[in-house]
């Protein structure tokens, strides 16, 4: 092969390999937030293709099953607002999950947010348009159609697992 053919092959191969990578999530973990408030989770998501789905999976610390809610783009990053945890919940566990247009997925590790009466940099959402229109999805049949450990009053909907 001539040198130009090797170079063209290397460029095409590199472009192909680069276009088959999973999405990358750039997220600064949230250490703490305020009890009785909605937590807002944001992340930058990079991909060589299109982002199809972004979600935050969350639960009260120590529970078996997660709930999830969609993260929406604000033009720069993807963000989601979580429902208010009930008064007995002292910590939340969460992770960010992303899938691209080639069904490649990635997620952050499971992170913990301490909830209390003080926090130097709380991740709080007080926008009523977001906090009163929350749609949360269950991940198991056992969760049914009632959200546990979170205040249901602000939810627009709790979507149970589709039983097909």
Paired tokens of 71: 């993260």
Residue 122's contacts (CB-CB under 8 Å, 6 or more residues apart) are 32, 33, 34, 37
**Among 143, 144, 142, 137, which residue's Cα sits nearest to residue 159?**
137
pLDDT tens, position by position, 96-134: 999 999 999 999 999 999 999 999 999 999 999 999 999
- Enter the DSSP assignment of 109: P
Q: What are phi and psi of 28, to 5 degrees?
A: -85, 115
Q: Looking up tokens 């009523």, which residue turns up? A: 128
> How far, in Å, are 30, 32, 88 from residue 155 at the CA level?
23, 22, 19
Q: What are phi and psi of 124, to 5 degrees?
A: -110, 140
pLDDT tens, position by position, 47-105: 998 999 999 999 999 999 999 999 999 889 999 999 999 989 999 999 999 999 999 99
C-beta of residue 114 within 8 angstroms of C-beta of residue 134: no
Range of lowest pLDDT (8-17, 112-121, 135-144): 8-17
Give the Cα separation of 99 and 23 in Å (integer).
Answer: 7
Give the Cα separation of 20 and 14 in Å (integer).
Answer: 10
């Amino acid at each position: 092969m001539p040198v130009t053919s090797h170079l063209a092959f290397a460029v095409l191969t590199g472009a192909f390999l680069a276009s088959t990578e999973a999405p990358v999530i750039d997220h600064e973990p949230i250490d703490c937030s305020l009890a009785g408030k909605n937590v807002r989770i944001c992340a930058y998501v990079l991909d060589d293709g299109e982002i199809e789905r972004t979600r935050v999976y969350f639960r009260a610390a120590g529970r078996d099953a997660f709930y999830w809610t969609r993260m929406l783009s604000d033009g720069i990053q993807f963000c989601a607002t979580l429902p208010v945890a009930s008064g007995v919940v002292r910590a939340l566990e969460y992770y960010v999950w992303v899938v691209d247009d080639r069904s490649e997925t990635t997620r952050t590790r499971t992170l913990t947010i301490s909830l209390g009466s003080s926090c130097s940099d709380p991740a709080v959402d007080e926008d009523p348009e977001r906090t009163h229109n929350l749609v949360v999805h269950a991940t198991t049949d056992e969760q049914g159609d009632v959200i546990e450990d979170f205040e249901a009053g602000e939810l627009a909907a709790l979507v149970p697992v589709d039983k097909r």
